Structure 1
């Protein structure tokens, strides 16, 4: 592995660390900084089914932050696997989030783990997420999402 690849992998891991730091600060614009300034596609678990541009990330996170008690949100990217190929990279990770909901009837939605795949590009010397897809496994018998996403 070359020094450039090692440095790029480190920078990408820092990008995800900074993204999760912004989640814990409940900072939607800070989360959005991880994503490409233009042409970004965000395929989230919430509606609508796709967003284009950083506003998708900001929209999703502003909504989530509005539903939780201030200061209660956590987020961690785990099992992060990164593959770098020149100016592009791929990352697979599991993201675990918890928070105390303002509406107690929604408690089941505020401790979950989603699967995430991210395609990244180095733009002007800095890594950005170009496409992100988040999902939950589905129990094919019941049709219910597995919000805990255990092995």
Structure 2
């Protein structure tokens, strides 16, 4: 594992831990001022800029405090000189949801940029599979 991969892994694991703990300042710490996030809930055009990104977290923290989880299951990282991306699967749900659907995973993709020797998250995308469609049906 390269040094860049190690740095990015630490960054993402620290971020996920902060999300789990409801620590907003650490959630924001490694995100670029011009972050773009496409999230599961609206707005459909995404969230743009660090202030708008900051605004989405209190509602999620409140949901999580009522029994939700946010834990990395797998994490893969691909690096290049000044850009990288990571993709992960997370347990994000309640105990009841996992009892009903043990395979449910949140899909996470992050785009990162290295500036002045420091990695920051420039793009973040969360999604769940559309379970309303049966596999193999067109």
Say if 2:36 is the partner of 1:41. Answer: yes
Equivalent residue, structure 2, for 1:119: 111
C-alpha displacement of 1:85: 0.8
C-alpha displacement of 1:65: 1.4
Residues 8/46 of structure 1: CA separation in 2 closer, same or farther (3 Å cut): same
Equivalent residue, structure 1, for 2:131: 139
TM-score, structure 1 normalization: 0.72
1:60-115 residue CA offsets vs partner (Å, 9 max, x unmatched): 22111123437x55422232111111010011111223468xxxxxx659x96311
Choose 61-70 or 129-138, whichever is displaced more.
Answer: 61-70
Pairing partner for 2:121 from 117, 129, 136: 129
**Structure 1 SS opposite 2:51:** helix
Identify unmatched segments of 5+ residues in structure 2.
Answer: none
Say if 2:89 is the partner of 1:97. Answer: no
Say if 2:74 is the partner of 1:79. Answer: yes
C-alpha displacement of 1:20: 1.3
User: Over the residues paired in the alignment, what is the CA RMSD in angstroms?
Assistant: 2.5
8 Å Cα contact 1:121-1:127 kept in structure 2: yes
TM-score, structure 2 normalization: 0.78
8 Å Cα contact 1:41-1:53 kept in structure 2: yes
**Structure 2 SS opposite 1:138:** coil
Say if 2:61 is the partner of 1:69. Answer: no
C-alpha displacement of 1:18: 0.5
* CA–CA distance in structure 2, aligned partners of residues 59 and 20 of structure 1: 17
* CA–CA distance in structure 1, aligned partners of residues 31 and 68 of structure 2: 21
Equivalent residue, structure 2, for 1:57: 53
Identify unmatched segments of 5+ residues in structure 1.
Answer: 101-106, 143-151
